Amino acid sequence: MSDSLGIRAYDYVEFYVGSAKMVAYWYAKALGMTITGYSGPETGVRDRMSYYLVQNDLKIVVSSALQPDSYEITSFLTQHGDGVKRWSIEVDDVDQIFQHAMSRGAVAVRKPNRLENEHGHVTEAAIRLFDDTELVFINRDDYQHIFKPGYGGPVQDIQLSAEDPQLLGIDHIVGNVRENEMDQWAAYFNRTLDFETFVDFKKGDIGTQYSALLSKVVRSELSTIKNPINEPYEGAKKSQIEEYLEQYHGSGVQHIAIQTTDIVHTVTALRKNGMEFLLVPDTYYENLRNREDIQIKENIDDLQRLKILCDTDADGYLLQLFTKPIGDRPTFFFEFIQREGCKGFGKGNFQALFEAIELDQELRGNLDY
């Protein structure tokens, strides 16, 4: 299924990391993903190494530089640390959507490019997003092999056992930008890809006694692509968005939310795999038990034990949980989300979430100006 611009769904996300091989083990072990593809010297690629990991519709690529002159990767890592270099949208026709975006003022990174080998072809193009991120359009309909040309099966015989968290795919991808940039980037999505702004958190909507942020969510015509964009807003102390911008040295992807239909199972499995989550105080669950507007099929004792958050809107509820930053810098993290009709992003949880993040910020020495 696709919309009038030919947009189908999220496809892969590619991270630039210090050591692709080791990070691939982390995804296999912590998220229970399968190492499905590999690209590197053994497949004829000399300057970089990539692993392609899959679980249902969740597709992650981790890449690292093999040579000091692989500037594109090494310069990214020097500045940002491990992070999301590009995320992609599967489309019907790469040329068509790229031309559309360009005619509306998108900044080109790569023109439509056809990668070919004996298994078929893959077409990709990319436009710029934030400081140093790419939004890729991809079509792999005519390719009958692993991921795309340049990839083969994994060369190592990697036998890992991990709990299967039953992750389904990407729900949304969030960007953090500087003060006064949020409106520009929301308008960029809306103008170049016919997205619309459907949530707008204004001054005073989101914040603790210390720090605050502004947030807009843009979405594609059929809502398959949903992208919140945050910017810091003045507060007594440094907000988590400012901490991100400082530590990432620029704007970029803050978190990716991954869908599940059974978050109690998912978080149980992820915790067994060693995933580290934000702490939620027990008072949160005392409040949850007292709320009459919350009708959920899950047992609140389970939610409390696993520290899962709950929020509602007119259409239903959602359950969600956030990891701590997965890398060395306090920048990128994952969210896991189960939607029961609710189309929101957990606004009712921002208070509890921010307070948990502020505790960690304080430990890192990044809360005070």
Residues at the site binding Fe ion, with contacts judged by CB under 5 A = 257, 335
Closest contact distance (angstroms) between CB of 259 and Fe ion is 11
Buried b (16+ CB within 10 A) or exposed e, 64-90: bbbeeebeebeebbeebbbbbbbbbbb
In the complex, least distance from residue 323 CB atom to Fe ion, rounded to whole angstroms: 12
Q: Pick the closer one to Fe ion by CB: 11 or 335.
A: 335
Cβ of residue 146: shortest distance to Fe ion, in angstroms?
30
**Measured from the CB of residue 173, what is the shortest distance to Fe ion in angstroms?**
9
Helix (H, G, I), strand (E, B) or coil at 41: helix
Neighbours of 129 (CB within 10 A): 26
Residue number with CB closer to Fe ion (7 or 173) = 173
Give me the amino acid identity at 57: D
CA distance 298 to 60: 30
Task: State which residue, 257 or 267, has the beta carbon closest to Fe ion.
Answer: 257
Q: Which helix (H) or strand (E) holds 128?
A: strand 120-129
In the complex with Fe ion, the residue whose CB is nearer, 72 or 276, is 276
What is the Cα 185 distance to its own chain's centre?
17
Output 110 or 324, the one with its CB closest to Fe ion.
324
The tokens for 223 are: 């809502």
Which residue, judged by CB position, is nearest to Fe ion in the bound state? 257
Q: Which is nearer to Fe ion, 19 or 323 (CB)?
A: 323
Instruction: Compute the distance between CA of residue 215 and CA of residue 176 in angstroms, rounded to an integer.
Output: 9
Q: Which is nearer to Fe ion, 149 or 346 (CB)?
A: 346
Residue closer to Fe ion (CB basis): 90 or 335: 335
Q: At closest approach, how far in Å is the CB of 174 from Fe ion?
A: 5
Q: How far is CA 126 from CA 70, 109, 112, 147, in A?
A: 19, 5, 8, 17
| Torsion sign over Cα 12, 14, 19, 22 | negative
| Nearest distance from C-beta of residue 318 to Fe ion, angstroms | 10
Kindly state the smallest distance separating residue 354's Cβ from Fe ion, in Å. 13
Token pair belonging to 27: 């995804």
Q: How far is the CB of 223 from Fe ion (least distance, A)?
A: 15
Q: Show Cβ contacts of residue 227 under 8 Å, excluding neighbours closer than 6 positions.
A: 172, 173, 174, 175, 189, 195, 217, 218, 219
- Can you tell me which residue has the tokens 């990407």? 170
